[in-house]
Amino acid sequence: MPPVENHVATSRLRTGKEYRELHTWIDDADPKIKTERHDITRIFVFGRRFEKQYGQEGLNEYLQHLHDDIAAKFEHLQHDVEKMTGDILAYFGVKKGSALNYTVQQGDIDIMKNAGLTDADLAHCLNVAKKAIEIAQRTGVRLDLELVGRGAFFHDLGKARSHEIDHGKIGAELGIAFGLPKALTDIMEKHIRGGMSEAEAKDLNLPVKNYTLSSLEEKIIIYADRLVDIITDGVVQIESEREAEDRFEEFIRNVPKYYKNQVTYERYLGYHREIQELMKG
Ligand SMILES: [Fe+2]
Ligand SMILES: [Fe+2]
């Protein structure tokens, strides 16, 4: 289930208020009490109480909390079922995720536009999606191309509200409010600095948790993001897109805009080497 902070964040986006007291009450630390407070047969009792205390908006936020929990539970179930069927198919020698291509969908473009993304940021996201899919195809590994394409496209959703380091966190909050899958909001949140440790997040005043990337799909997105920056920023002069890959190490070490610190540098270098190795093979 989403933690209290996620509920607080979505309430803030929807209403401008956090309703922290309400969400903390529902997600009581005692599992037994928590279960009771999520019992949908109690909606009429608890709903009345919240309506009295906070008005119609509070009632809505209580209902929305239950709704978001159920939606998240189903998403987990769906993910588990997909994984299980994938494992079974793999056992019988049938490979899953065998789509050969993916194109960004108009509905997703509309979401980004409605969120208020500028044309320049939208173009960047489209470029990253295109580059990520190209790289995923070149690896020859059977990957979830939809995750690669959509994850890359949505990675900068948060730029609709901020161009600072918090745009990952804000993007994930917006994504949750728009009902996007967790796999996508995770990428939005984790793409800052290419997948930070808890200690780095703390140093940057971001919610303290582990942002480490967990799949090749995510690494390809992060790598594509940096490549697109190198190709389109105009900070370095290159003749072809290929040169961005060939001189990647040099650029991320020597260009201040790309060299954030040693840890980030080594992380990006790791993705570069791992993915280039796959593309060679
Ligand atoms: Fe970004
Ligand atoms: Fe980006």
- List the Cα angle 96/101/104 in 5-degree steps: 115
Give the phi and the psi of residue 141 in degrees, each rounded to 5. -85, 140
pTM of the model: 0.68
The CA-atom distances, in angstroms, between 258 and each of 193, 254, 255, 262 are 10, 8, 5, 11
What is the whole-number distance in angstroms between the Cα of residue 7 and the centre of ligand 2? 26
* Centroid of ligand 1 to alpha carbon of 150 (angstroms): 14
Please give the backbone phi and psi of residue 108, each rounded to the nearest 5 degrees, phi first.
-70, -40
How does the average pLDDT of the chain come out, rounded? 92
Nearest ligand, measured from the Cα of 127: 2
Is residue 223 within 8 Å of residue 268, measured between CB atoms? Answer: yes
**CA 229 to centroid of ligand 1, rounded, Å:** 10
Ligand 1 center to residue 12 CA distance, Å?
22
If you count DSSP H runs as helices and E runs as strands, how many of each does the chain have, helices first?
14, 0
Q: Cα(226) to centroid of ligand 2, in Å?
A: 7
Ligand number nearest to the C-alpha of 165? 1
CA–centroid distance, residue 193 to ligand 1 (Å) = 9
Percent of the chain's residues with pLDDT above 90? 79
> For the segment 171-225, what is each residue's pLDDT rounded down to a tens digit?
999 999 999 999 999 999 999 999 999 999 999 999 999 999 989 999 999 999 9
State the distance from the centre of ligand 2 to the C-alpha of 25, rounded, in angstroms.
37
| The pLDDT of residue 94 | 62
Q: How many angstroms is it from 72 CA to the middle of ligand 1?
A: 25
Instruction: Compute, in angstroms, the gap from residue 220 CA to the centroid of ligand 2.
Output: 13
Q: Nearest ligand, CA of residue 132?
A: 2
What are the structural domain ranges in the chain?
A: 4-91, 106-280
User: What pLDDT was estimated at residue 145?
Assistant: 93
CB 156 within 8 A of CB 222: no
Neighbours of 261 (CB within 10 A): 11
Domain 106-280 is found in CATH 1.10.3210: yes
Distance CA 182, CA 151 (A): 10
Ligand nearest the Cα of residue 193 is 1
Each residue of 79-101: pLDDT tens digit? 788 778 777 777 776 655 456 78
The single residue listed with the structure tokens 């209290």 is 4
The whole-angstrom distance between residue 218's C-alpha and the CA centroid of its chain comes to 9
CA angle 98, 212, 73 (to 5 degrees): 65
Q: Which residues of 123-157 are buried (b: 16+ CB within 10 A; e: fewer)?
A: ebbbbbbbbbbebbbebeeebbbbbbbbbbbbbbb
Q: Give CA 252 to chain center in angstroms.
A: 23
Average pLDDT over residues 144-148: 94
Structure tokens at 260: 């954030």
Query: Confidence band (pLDDT; 50, 70, 90) for 229?
Result: very high
- Residue 194 Cα, ligand 1 centroid: separation in angstroms? 9
- Per residue in 59-79, pLDDT tens? 999 999 999 899 888 877 877
How many angstroms does the Cα of residue 162 sit away from the middle of ligand 1? 10
Distance 1 CA to ligand 1 centre (A): 26
